Structure 1
Amino acid sequence: MSLLTDYVAGNRRIVLPVAEALLRVVWPYRVPGASTSLEQTGTAVLAAFWPLVEQAHRETGELAREYYDAEREARTGLPPVPFFLAEHKRDWLAEKLAEPLIALHRDPSDARAADLAGAAVREVQAGGRRTIQRGVEADPVALGWARVETGGSSCAFCTLLISRGPVYKDAESAGESNAYHRGCDCRVVPVFDRASFPGRDQYLAAEKEWVKATRAAKQNGTDPINELRKRLQSE
């Protein structure tokens, strides 16, 4: 197994149990006609979510740190470079939960409850993603980081971002590439050699798809992302 494969498997072992626990917390709030106010629901959900998310966020960060060090040693032969795990704050989680909480209060359904739990899961996943990004920023031999898909297929938005390859060195250069939709299985990998890095074949394939999509969009007068979506759906 590759270092990336091991990392992804370890990440799932952390995320799946916490996702189930988050759903158990939020499931009672999907019942129509609940007597609690939005503020009461938000306070209760945040109080229940925070310890679960905070611990899992730290665990995904620790796992990402181990993966970064292993990848760095395998690619460069160098020892680890000092950097800290990505931090997380209760207020940040509250901010991410605000919109799905409002949606659940307006529409207490299974789908809205799952959306709320999904927003918290994205914060758990962010522990690993941000830790690797922090490592790249602190590492003088890292060329950047790349986005890779780990679930077998990706949506048009993710394919577009994968097609950019290892062009990201910090949060400013990443821009929208720090965005991850619900259920997104994209990971962040450090790049020490542009000719050889985890997910390079993905990057090259996605780049070809994006070139074809932009060419078709120019010919048809359409949106390139819609052309890419059509190409992916036809495969």
Structure 2
Amino acid sequence: MAVTIPRAAVDFLTEEINGISADAQARVLEVLRGIQWTPENVAQCRELVIQALAAVMPTYTTMAAQASADFYDAARELAVGERLGAQAISDFDMRKTEGAVRGFVRFVLDGRVETFNDQVLQRIDYEMKRSANMSVVENGRRDPKRVRYARVPTGAETCDFCLMLASRGFVYQSEGTAGAGHTHYACDCRCVPGWDGMEVEGYDPRSIYDRWQDAIDAKAKERAERNGTTVSEERAAIMAAYGRAAKNARKAGRKSA
């Protein structure tokens, strides 16, 4: 008999994660707004940003991971009758965030401080979403029950690549194959664990597949008109790009394993 996760439960998880992300961003933004960049103090200001992130990110990524761990246990209890005792496993690596910040400094050097600030805040959101997804996967690795994952959209808008991933249903055996490398700023897709017979209320992979195909058709038509090519040529190019992106996402997932 199929077991259905209420849509409200998945939406609540998204609200939790978005709230955690917003709070973390607000704390770091307060520091960003107090920094007065000059050509002479770029290195010092950069270190202030890194210090602010180092003070905030470990705690908040753990909070995002805990929200997903709680969701994992609730879903597991519904599906198999008992909880795992899921743990908050964020897989957060401050060194990677520090490296990203060092790269963002190029915007400051171009006089685009607001762009730098935006990139830092987007990085925070990315790390929260990634931590939430990885917590589900890492607990799945600990689970003696066979678990698969689905990528379930929850927001008002979903990017085309996420639609592709979501259109496959509960087929992924790891977040690497579900697209760990595609976690992005403002992504409201959740990595949802599933056991035999598990469904998510309102999650219709077939309908999502149709949306994805419609999006590809529209993009191919627009490109063909712009480039003087055929729709079929542009569609083939788009699908090839999706294939490369999916391969890169799988590689990113294996590296994080």
Q: Same fold (TM over 0.5)?
A: yes
Aligned to 2:233: 221
Question: Cα gap change, 1:147/1:109 in structure 2, threshold over 3 Å: closer, same or farther?
Answer: same
Aligned to 1:210: 212
SS of the equivalent of 2:100 reads helix
Size of the aligned set, in residue pairs, is 223
Aligned to 2:15: 9
State the Cα deviation string for residues 173-194 of structure 1 (Å, max 9, x = none). 34x4432222222221111146
User: What's the RMSD between the two structures over aligned residues?
Assistant: 2.9
**Which structure 1 segments of 5+ residues have no match?**
228-235
CA contact (8 A) 2:216 2:238 kept: no
State the Cα deviation string for residues 155-189 of structure 1 (Å, max 9, x = none). 22221222233232225434x44322222222211
SS of the equivalent of 1:10 reads helix
Greater alpha carbon shift after TM alignment, 44-53 vs 141-150: 141-150
SS of the equivalent of 2:170 reads coil
Question: How high is the sequence identity, in percent, across the aligned residues?
Answer: 20
SS of the equivalent of 2:151 reads strand
Aligned mates of 2:216, 2:197 — CA distance in 1: 24
Aligned to 2:226: none
Aligned mates of 1:225, 1:161 — CA distance in 2: 18
Aligned mates of 1:35, 1:173 — CA distance in 2: 45
Aligned mates of 2:65, 2:84 — CA distance in 1: 15
SS of the equivalent of 2:12 reads helix
> TM-score, with normalisation over the residues of structure 1?
0.79
Greater alpha carbon shift after TM alignment, 113-122 vs 73-82: 73-82
1:115 to 116, 119, 137: 119
SS of the equivalent of 2:130 reads helix
Question: Cα gap change, 1:90/1:17 in structure 2, threshold over 3 Å: closer, same or farther?
Answer: same
Amino acid at match of 2:128: V
Aligned mates of 1:20, 1:157 — CA distance in 2: 29
Shift of 1:132: 0.5
Amino acid at match of 2:161: F
Aligned mates of 2:237, 2:145 — CA distance in 1: 34
Aligned to 2:246: none
